[in-house]
Amino acid sequence: MKVLSHGADWDFELLERYDAAIGEVAGEYGLDTYPNQIEIITSEQMLDAYATGGLPVGYPHWSYGKEFIRNEQAYRRGMQGLAYEIVINSNPCIAYLMEENTMATQALVIAHACYGHNSFFKNNHVFQQWTAADAILDYLVFARRYVMKCEERHGPEAVEEVLDAAHALMSHGVDRYRRPAPLTLKAETARLAEREAHRERHFNDLWRTVPEAAAESAPASQARFPADPQENILYFVEKFSPRLEPWQRELVRIVRKLAQYFYPQAQTKVMNEGWATFWHYTILNRLHEKGLVDDGFMLEFLKSHTNVVCQPSFDSGAYGGLNPYALGFAMFTDIRRICERPDAEDREWFPELAGSDWRRSLDFAMRNFKDESFIAQYLSPRLIREFRLFAVADHRSEETLRVDSIHDDHGYRRVRRLLARQHAQELRVPDVQIVHYDRDGDRSLTVRHVRRRGRPLSDAATEVVAHLRRLWGLAVRLETWEDDVPVGDDVVCPA
Amino acid sequence: MPHLIDRRPNGRGKSAVNRERFLRRYKAQVQDAVKKMIGERRITDMERGGEVRVPKKDIAEPSFGFGRGGDREFVLPGNREFVTGDRIPRPDGGSARGNGNEGGNGDGEDEFVFSLSREEFMEIFFDDLELPNLLRTEFGRSERKKSVRAGFTKTGTPANLSVVRTLTQSLARRIALSAGLGREGEALECEFAVATAVGQADRAALLYAEIERLERRRRTLPYLEEVDLRYRNRAWRPEPIARAAMFCLMDVSASMDEDKKDLAKRFFTLLYLFLTRKYGEVDLIFIRHTDDAEEVDEDTFFHDTRTGGTVVLSALELAETIRAERYARGWNVYAAQASDGDAFGADPARSARFLRERLLPAARYYTYLELADPQSPEHVSSLWAEYERVAEATGNFAMRRATRREQIYPVFRGLFRKETQ
């Protein structure tokens, strides 16, 4: 076959030819994707996109401005390069490519984002369960319009106050056990219009003049409310806050929906990036095999690729946590190796994988796991050795840190379990739930932090409670329990 | 087939609104930073943008996270020498954080640093400042005119077509023309029904033809006609403009040492930037004086060095002469004077009298900045004492003292603060 192009320059026609070639190879490997929409943007536009977490449309808020300034500053000083691409979990799947990229980089990005991430978005069960790729763009448009309308009506400061407070509780605005109904712009707008119309229809100024009943002696229902602790604090606030105006409730809802949208991404970072990296590596190598790209292309590609999957060790200056690209790529590559060329150790650890069809096994792994379970299931002793992973225990009863386990026969399983737990979303975010709403009393709200293994909340908790108080409108109390007994450390925010 | 879209022409600046929100929210900090910068800067750099530092904790977005303490394990890569059971001393400051609580943005600085563009810098610089008592009464020469909306016309260019107006006209015309046809038609329908009922076939046919004709007319009513078209109209209206003249009087006598001159120049630099940026129609007159005064251009004023004795009156007289010659009528006159106040003999008293009797009645606002000696900041100069009595007697005279660089900006702001109702 003929080489597609030489040199670093690209144009639209070349992009299309590369995309066609990459798509064909992806088809050979059986990748199932949403249709692609590739957009070329400038580095400035990339900075814009960064600020809103990659979303193409966002409502105005100062925190995005802060993000933007931070990234811009770092970029201008050369402290930070820009990502080559941003990809959005939507249908069609939108990928942003920067115009500064060379042809090789564009090809890498197309393979990585438009086929790797895209197929992951479409097929991974977490994404399938939690997000509606068809509706997200519409919803973002709705959110932006709504926020701006509120700003017009109620002033930017009032809107900002609600958004600030809701943002502080974003990590606790996620339904983890129920799939949310899909959102669409039309349905949302219609729902609101209907609510508004209903209110207007039933508005009667006379009610204002009716004297208020003095201290109604309602039969105090003794039942505790809510009956069970509620983990979705934002949802509870939206539904039951005694003081919020309807538009404020709607703002809380918007933030909650965004939190929900981002929830799967946080849970599948390693898998998602690993999958995309594995596929750009595999696909571009295949292009080279077919003679479609030249050696210069491959050298440049390998250089970028090596940078992406580099894992500095913990004591080097460059260390910034485990690199999800490196770990994910190594794991998917390792699964393929176990399928194709298993050794004795692999047969012992992964009897069901050894010798199986690698494409089917990989596909299964991609579809049915999230980071936590993926690591628990597939991290092999060989990788633990290669990464030289070791676990350190930090216990308050001990003077020093203790090396808990390393890459040896005794340690493999424990290191793997600890690493998996480290990726469990439930353990990354403190367990704070609403336990009581004093409906018949002072209408105060009680939230409980269930402490595990003595790990306290950070100091910011006081501010978060103050934000919650702002949303709730009446007194809020944060209590801390461990092993079913209160342990003090209450934070009270009075009415 | 993939969609390839070139978004580059869409333009950047999507985050501009968010950036502006951020600046507004931390306005106090940004203003503080600007204040500090102005004290530190060289005069020639006054107009650049600048770097602002905001403490990170002030702009943190709180959320529930884990603090230090409790029991936990974390996995790290790159083990070289450790075996199970090894003890490692706890690092201070938590630099070897493992997982989870990577607080904030990860880079361990305490301050959030960002730059202001020149525009933003100047905006904050002159925020809330204004020339006091400025009157917009002068209709001046007629060169300044403003285009204003003036209703609608029946002729115009397509670009000015008012769609809503045009369609309103069209709708009105169609209603007016078709209503009559409709009524007539209905009457004919009745007659037609009667005619057919009683069997007058000829008449029915006639009526039917007539109904047809009306129906055709109604159908052929044009949706838009020339007469419907309405265009937005604009007219030119003369604009009242406010013209102002600012006299800058600087003492460059020998008693003004380099530090004081620097202070004075700083003050006038601020004034100069303020006026040239905010008011298009301001004439600036630069006067410097030793024992006699001369009018100079801005370059000489700011950069030339000259020394000699002190006669304040000379500068005031020169200012008055120029005012009477060039700005006698139709101008808002302002003056700012900077001096160390070291005047001798009869000069202070005569200057004060001249100021009160001749300059002040003709001026909107007069400011005096005294550059006191840093060693004895409380020492009152003879000029200050005389001027103080002027200030008591008149309403458009303000005076301030400054001894250090960083006082200049606050003093400047104090003199030109926007009056709030």
Residue A232 has pLDDT above 60, yes or no: yes
**Mutate which of A13, A59, A69, A82 to test chain B, going by most B C-beta atoms within 10 A?**
A69
SS3 per residue for chain A: CCCCCCCCCCCHHHHHHHHHHHHHHHHHCCCCCCCEEEEEECHHHHHHHHHCCCCCCCCCCHHHHHHHHHHHHHHHCCCCCCCCEEEECCCCEEEEEECCCCHHHHHHHHHHHHHHHHHHHHHCHHHHHHCCCCCHHHHHHHHHHHHHHHHHHHCHHHHHHHHHHHHHCHHHCCCCCCCCCCCCHHHHHHHHHHHHHHHHHCCCCHHHHCCCCCCCCCCCCCCCCCCCCECCHHHHHHHHCCCCCHHHHHHHHHHHHHHHHHHHHHHCHHHHHHHHHHHHHHHHHHHHHCCCCCHHHHHHHHHHHHHHCCCCCCCCCCCCCCCHHHHHHHHHHHHHHHHHCCCHHHHHHCCCCCCCCHHHHHHHHHHHCCHHHHHHHHCCHHHHHHHCCEEEEECCCCCCEEEEECCCCCCHHHHHHHHHHHCCHHHHCCCEEEEEECCCCCCCEEEEEECCCCCCECCHHHHHHHHHHHHHCCCEEEEEEECCEECCCCEEECC
Of B4, B70, B86, the CB nearest to A454: B70
Q: Say yes or no: B209 and B267 in one domain.
A: no
Q: Is residue B332 part of a domain?
A: yes
Q: How far apart are CA A115 and CA A19, in angstroms?
A: 10
Residues of A in contact with B104 (CB under 8 A): none
A392 in contact with B at a CB cutoff of 8 Å? yes
CA dist., res. B228 & res. A387, Å (int): 79
Whether residues B230 and B166 fall in one domain: yes
Whether residue A62 and residue B99 make contact (CB cut-off 8 A), yes or no, is no
Residue A319 has a pLDDT of: 84
State the pLDDT confidence band at A376, using cuts at 50, 70 and 90. Answer: very high
Chain B residues inside the 8 Å CB shell of A75: none
**Chain A: residue nearest B25 by CA?**
A62
Does residue B239 fall inside a structural domain? no
pLDDT single digits (tens) B72-124: 888 999 888 888 888 888 876 444 444 333 333 444 456 777 778 777 777 77
Q: Point out the residue among A314, A392, A456 whose CB comes nearest to the CB of B69.
A: A456
Q: Are residues B373 and B319 in the same domain?
A: yes
The answer to whether the Cβ–Cβ distance between B65 and A403 falls below 8 Å is no
* B229-236 mean pLDDT: 90
Q: Hey, what are A4's tokens?
A: 């597609």
Q: Select the residue from B66, B73, B112 to test the A interface by mutation, using most A Cβ atoms within 10 A.
A: B73
Do B209 and B114 fall into the same domain? no
Confidence of residue B139 (pLDDT cuts 50, 70, 90): very low
The CATH number that applies at residue B259 is 3.40.50.410
The partner residue sitting opposite B88, judged by closest CB among A40, A400, A407, is A400
Compute the distance between CA of residue B179 and CA of residue B181 in angstroms, rounded to an integer: 5
- Does residue B278 lie in a domain region? yes
- Asked which of B204, B234, B264 is the last residue of a domain, the reply is B234
Whole-number Cα distances in Å, B135 to A189, B243, B355, B379: 50, 9, 22, 37
Span B25-53, pLDDT tens digits: 888 778 777 777 776 776 666 667 777 77
Higher-pLDDT residue of B253, A341: A341
Q: Is residue B169 part of a domain?
A: yes
Statement to judge: residues B314 and B406 lie in one domain: yes
Same-domain status, B249 and B227: no
Task: Specify whether B276 is located in the same domain as B407.
Answer: yes
Q: Which ipTM did the prediction report?
A: 0.79
- The encoded tokens of residue A343 equal 């050794």
How far apart are the C-alpha atoms of A444 and A452, rounded to whole Å? 26
Amino acid at A322: L
Q: What pLDDT, in 10s, does the model give residues A114-139?
A: 999 999 999 999 888 877 777 888 88
**CB proximity under 8 Å: A 209-228 to B:** none
A162 within 8 A of A146, measured Cβ to Cβ: no
**Is residue A310 over pLDDT 60?**
yes
Q: Judge whether A328 is closer than 8 Å to chain B, CB to CB.
A: no
Residue B240 pLDDT grade (very low, low, confident, very high; cuts 50, 70, 90)? low
> Minimal CA–CA distance to A96: which of A78, A107, A110?
A110
Do B75 and A320 make contact, defined as CB atoms within 8 angstroms? no
Confidence of residue A78 (pLDDT cuts 50, 70, 90): low
Residue-wise pLDDT tens digits, A430-472: 999 999 898 888 888 999 999 888 888 888 888 899 999 989 9
Please tell me the pTM assigned to this model: 0.71
Backbone angles phi, psi at A36, to 5 degrees: -100, 145
CB pairs under 8 A between A and B: 261
Residues B203 and B278 in one domain: no
What b/e string do you get for B67-80 counting C-beta neighbours within 10 Å, with b at 16 or more? eeebebbbbbbebe
Among B210, B234, B258, give the residue marking a domain's end.
Answer: B234
Q: Which residues of B touch A55 (CB under 8 A)?
A: none
Q: Which residues of chain A make contact with B56, given a CB cutoff of 8 A?
A: none
Domain check: are B392 and B269 in the same one?
A: yes
Q: Per the domain annotation, does B93 fall within a domain?
A: no
Q: Helices A136-154 and A156-168, interaxial angle, to 10°?
A: 130
Interface contact flag, A418 B73, Cβ < 8 Å = yes
Q: Do A408 and B87 touch (CB under 8 A)?
A: no
A374-378 average pLDDT score: 93
| Contact call for residues B393 and B366 (beta carbons, < 8 A) | no
Please report which confidence band the pLDDT of residue A154 belongs to, taking 50, 70 and 90 as the band edges.
Answer: very high
Q: Using alpha carbons only, how large is chain B's radius of gyration in Å? A: 38
CA atoms of B304 and A301, how far apart (whole Å) = 61
For B173-201, how does the pLDDT look when each residue is reduced to its tens digit (9 = 90+)?
Answer: 998 888 888 888 888 888 888 888 888 88
Per the structure, the count of domains in chain B is 3
| Single residue among B186, B211, B234 that ends a domain in this structure | B234
Give residue-wise pLDDT tens across range A29-68: 999 999 999 988 888 888 888 777 777 788 888 888 888 8
B298 & B326 share domain:
yes
> Is B139 a domain residue?
no
Residues of A in contact with B73 (CB under 8 A): 391-394, 404, 418
Average of per-residue pLDDT values in chain A: 86
| Same-domain pairing of B395 and B280 | yes
Q: Which of B8, B18, B75 sits opposite A62 (nearest CB)?
A: B18
Hey, is B251 helix, strand or coil? strand
Q: Report CB contact under 8 Å: B67, A457.
A: yes
In a domain, B64, yes or no: no
Together in a domain, B278 and B298? yes
Nearest CA in chain A to B3: A37
Q: Give the domain range for residue B189.
A: 158-234
Q: What is the DSSP string of B153-170?
A: ES---GGGB-HHHHHHHH
Is residue B181 domain-resident?
yes
Nearest CA in chain A to B19: A65
Interface mutation vs chain B, best among A100, A323, A329, A394, most B CBs within 10 Å = A394
**Residue among A60, A311, A390 minimizing CB distance to B79:** A390
